Structure 1
């Protein structure tokens, strides 16, 4: 392996962090830098705090349809723990790279799924006539889109890690990952459009509280969408290129938007704003049968 690595001419090798002689160690640091310990610790701390609060609200308000946020937060925590391991133990480890990439890339899908349930609940509260499709159909369309996009991304990410570990051309694997991200960017844009159209059509019947809540959910949605666009741009440029090899972009366009989305969903939690008996939900006499997604 040492002889093979001596022939590597492209990629980042940290002169202050000698490559461990293990089968799991790639010849280069796939991140393009040694992951920051500070970012890793901050990620774990912020997401652990958010997990505790979301678990509290989940049990207090029994909003089981919103439990995917908890799953996403657990994945974020695991992903940043692996970045800490890469930072302190072995940044060359392919397993650490794949594990953190898998968790951090897939976790926002669970936040998206939670946001999808919110529009379903709102349609049930405000009225079906304001929505382009039934709440159940909308929910399943976008969940299926996310499942397909995620499956493609997982396949691509795994193949990218394998390609770099085996010193092979990662172009095909990167294109698979790119296809999954492109599909996710498209489907989430369609969701945001549906959400905006729904709230626009229902604007005259929405009470003040529900208008504020809708705006907050749109902010959370746009934060997740910004992160997805960044991942698409990063993958389109290629691994080991400028966007992927400068951690400042990861911090500002991956880490920060997800933190914003998660904490927005804490204060504007649907259990607090869409729960039964919540006043000022609608400003006219609109009937509601159930507050669970249909």
Structure 2
């Protein structure tokens, strides 16, 4: 069944606008959010939160704690999508809150990936990377923070523009700039990752290959999600990508779920710590011999 088209945005004929002080004249999502997607988001990320909390304390991989923060933020975001779907899809604050948490959360997953690469470089040896471990953390986390601040500012201004019945094009361009910068910086990170893994083939330290494959897939999944957000915003407001929840489900929700669950089994505490310990033992043995 095709949806009715409305000039300037989407209005759900089956969900009358409450007309409250914080309600926009249209549904900013471009559709009425699905209850199923919201419930799946809360359930899957809650399970992941429990799993990652257990793994964090079991393996004491405190550097990977940003995964906990990210999954918790995803839960909050999808709770507000449920509220929008069931109570008021026109609410600007609910749209902004869910957008804030769902957009911010992958930044913490990216930070977790950056820390894994830093540990890998320290394990293999700095000679196998174009950047030292601390530089990777400093540069790419800073880039993500800057990009995210710009995105959140743009998204909030889009909501305000719709609420005040003003043209949201300029705020959308601000959002687009933040996303473009994030896509660019993560692409550079992927190059650093590829460089490091390629050079590290010569290292005497051997890290579990399936773990490295999981790391690559998780990184690509996060990057796919970021590219989708860029394409969605570049296409313009109330266009194809932004007005069909199927795109959100398959290119925002699914890639992040894949990345999070890859790391529940291929957790660095389980697969990377053994390589770190192996290197330490070799160094100790060499020191005794010398």
Return the TM-score normalized by structure 2: 0.92
1:44 equivalent in structure 2: 42
Query: Take 1:185 and 1:124, find their aligned partners in 2: how far apart are those partners?
Result: 26
Question: For 1:1-294, what aligned pairs fall within 5 Å after superposition?
Answer: 9-205=7-203, 209-276=207-274, 287=283
Query: CA shift at 1:278, angstroms?
Result: 6.6
Segments of 4+ moved more than 6 angstroms:
none
Question: Separation in 2 of the partners of 1:209 and 1:155?
Answer: 41
Alpha-carbon RMSD:
1.7
Q: Is the 8 A contact 1:125 1:286 kept in 2?
A: no
Structure number with greater CO (CA < 8 Å, separation at least 6) is: 1
| TM-aligned CA deviation for residue 212 of structure 1 | 2.1
Size of the alignment, in residue pairs? 278
Q: CA deviation digits over 1:9-59, x for unaligned, max 9?
A: 321111110111310111001111100000000000000000000000111
After TM superposition, the score normalised by the length of structure 1 is 0.91
1:138: Cα distance to partner? 1.3
CA distance in 1, matches of 2:138, 2:276: 27
Query: Once the 2 structures are TM-superposed, how far is the Cα of residue 268 of structure 1 from its aligned partner?
Result: 1.0
> CA distance change for structure 1 residues 221 and 196 in 2, over 3 Å: closer, same or farther?
same
Distance in 2 between the 1:242 and 1:206 partners? 50
Q: 1:159 & 1:286 partners in 2: Cα distance?
A: 56
Residue aligning to 1:3 = none
| Structure 2: segments with no counterpart, 5+ residues | 1-5, 285-290
Cα deviations across residues 111-147 of structure 1 (Å, max 9, x unaligned)?
A: 0000000010001111111010111111111011111
State the distance in 2 between where 1:278 and 1:132 align: 20
- In 1, Cα distance between equivalents of 2:206 and 2:85: 47
Is the partner of 1:188 in helix, strand or coil? helix
Change (3 A) 1:136 1:12: same
- SS in structure 2 of the partner of residue 111 of structure 1: helix
Q: What is the Cα deviation at residue 207 of structure 1?
A: 6.1
Q: Distance in 2 between matches of 1:267 and 1:17?
A: 42
Deviation at 1:277, TM superposition (A): 6.7
